[in-house]
Amino acid sequence: MSTPFYVSPQQAMADRAEYARKGIARGRSLVVLQYADGIVFVGENPSRALHKFSEIYDRIGFAAAGKYNEYENLRIGGVRYADLRGYTYDRDDVTARGLANVYAQTLGTIFSSAAEKPYEVELVVAEVGETPEGDQIYRLPHDGSIVDEHGSVAVGGNAEQISSYLDQRHQDGMTLAEALKLAVQALSRDTNGSQREIPAERLEVAVLDRTRPQKRKFKRITGRQLARLLDADGASSATDAEDETTEDE
Amino acid sequence: MEANTRSTGRLPAAFLTPGSSSFMDFLAEHQPELLPGKRQLPPTQGVIEAPHGTTIVAATFPGGVVLAGDRRATMGNVIAQRDIEKVFPADEYSAVGIAGTAGLAVEMVKLFQLELEHFEKVEGAQLSLEGKANRLSTMIRSNLGMAMQGLAVVPLFAGYDVDRGKGRIFSYDVTGGRSEEQGYAATGSGSIFARGAMKKLFRADLTEDQATTLVVQALYDAADDDSATGGPDVARRIYPIVTVITEDGFRRLTEDEASEIARSILERRLEQPDGPRAALL
């Protein structure tokens, strides 16, 4: 039996981080933005059935970039965690903060355990509040750290570039159509700065809409509604803005 | 009780193990003590006294189904609660109304709602209406032990079948036996009277408004002859819960809508205490 080479902990961690980051970078990036009535998830996804975004609980949504089977596993774990917690205590006791902590612990333990390979995933857990100030967005990188985000967030291989593009242009109180268009613009910029077209049928879009009368605020936006929002010009977004001001009063 | 320690720290392995899309199956493996059916029963003598919910009625109409319930819970000859709710949305396209031991019934509904929601979230698709009805069967069957001690739960399940484009009603017995009802159905202590009323008033071509009136008429007749069923309580503004499920999903009539139906029926009954007459032939 041969003696294994000594690898310093720093080097081991750096190798694991690089492995995870490379895995995540293979997939397409996705973005999560706050808009006036909630939070919108936008990503490029050619599949109709294998979702990147999904509902976890009443006000909580989930987005993931990276390896499908790994984030799907985490997603189902999250649904089980939320449903069990809501069943044991009350529906109001299920929070994005609690869920994000559980995910962070899970990812962190896997990342630093030598027996397991690190997960090649980056997650976003978002909860829509009663008001925009109550919205919560948490980004969870592969190593189990946790970042509290505001306004906009991007995850995936090209995330840094997309994030800085969004940071410059995202504003509070955007309409859904405006936020969606900004997200699509950010996603369709390539690493070298050139633009490419993402057709509507390759987009996966979902919202956590605080104005929905149902307790469950998660909703997918597809087909005609998506096309209408993408086509919406300045006029319709102006009327949307008027509606909001009257609601605010 | 372990849920506390589990709420911090890493997700336990059971959460990340690929498995069934059923929340009940997950509970049975992970924390079986939380399932109502797995509870250890102490030996008891005689019947346990607990509040009972009474009458639930349902009727179909072209395009949907109506499910309604009275508001009274009784414990022996005492009215335990005047404004109990016994009709609940199960999900977007179905509702469940429950007669029997109120505490267990409400718990069962909560678990049933969660079961449907959990499946929908995990699979990304809704169960078929038959699938939902079968799931409820399983839950009643798991309550059989308690039913034998007098703590029976007897639901009525109604929903809009998206695939067939029509409303359907399923009734159950305490053993979980399930049967689909054609047109109208009732369960609970006042059900014999309610069924009699609906038998005479039901037609296959009712409108939605007529169907909601029909079920409230039936509840009135049940309350008229069964002391455990509560009629519309005008003084306290407590009216039956009436829900409608159509292609547009589940909707519960607002208090104003329910009171309008109940009041118009009351007014007619002041002139004609036995209610509307059906033609003799």
The DSSP bridge partners found for residue A63 are A53, A124
The pLDDT of residue A242 is: 39
Given a contact cutoff of 8 angstroms between Cβ atoms, the answer to whether B207 and B61 are in contact is: yes
Domains of chain B: 51-271 (3.60.20.10)
Residue among A80, A101, A109 whose CB faces B15 most closely: A80
**Judged by CB atoms within 8 Å, which residues 159-218 of A form the interface with B?**
216
pLDDT digits (tens, 9 = 90+) for B223-277: 999 999 999 999 999 999 999 999 999 999 999 999 999 999 999 999 999 999 8
Contacts of A84 in chain B (CB under 8 A): 3, 26-27, 30-31
Instruction: For helices A68-88 and B102-123, give the axis angle rounded to 10 degrees.
Output: 170
Instruction: Check CB contact under 8 Å for A87 and B11.
Output: no
For A46, counting Cβ atoms within 10 Å of its Cβ (0-12 exposed, 13-18 middle, 19+ buried), the class is exposed
ipTM for the assembly: 0.87
**Judged by CB atoms within 8 Å, which residues 89-128 of A form the interface with B?**
89, 98, 101-103, 105-106, 109
A50: contact with B, CB 8 A cutoff: no
SS3 annotation, chain A:
CCCCCCCCHHHHHHHHHHHHHHHHHHCCCEEEEEECCEEEEEEECCCCCCCCEEEEECCEEEEEEECHHHHHHHHHHHHHHHHHHHHHCCHHHCCHHHHHHHHHHHHHHHHHCCCCCCCCEEEEEEECCCCHHHCEEEEECCCCCCEEECCEEEECCCHHHHHHHHHHHCCCCCCHHHHHHHHHHHHCECCCCCECCCCHHHEEEEEEECCCCCCCCEEEECHHHHHHHHHCCHHHHHHHHHHHHHHHC
Instruction: Check CB contact under 8 Å for A56 and B15.
Output: no
pLDDT digits (tens, 9 = 90+) for A19-43: 999 999 988 899 999 999 999 999 9
A80: contact with B, CB 8 A cutoff: yes
pTM of the model: 0.90
CATH architecture assignment, domain A9-229: 4-Layer Sandwich (3.60)
Given a contact cutoff of 8 angstroms between Cβ atoms, the answer to whether A56 and A89 are in contact is: no
Catalytic positions of B = 54
Domain boundaries of chain A, sorted by first residue: 9-229
Residue of B108, B121, B123 to mutate when probing chain A, most A C-beta within 10 A: B121
Given a contact cutoff of 8 angstroms between Cβ atoms, the answer to whether B69 and B241 are in contact is: yes
The pLDDT of residue B191 is: 96
Residue among A76, A81, A86 whose CB faces B122 most closely: A76
Contacts of A71 in chain B (CB under 8 A): none
pLDDT digits (tens, 9 = 90+) for B7-59: 458 899 889 988 889 999 999 888 888 888 777 777 777 777 888 888 999 99
- Mean pLDDT, to the nearest integer, of A126-132? 96
Contacts of B124 in chain A (CB under 8 A): 49, 51, 54
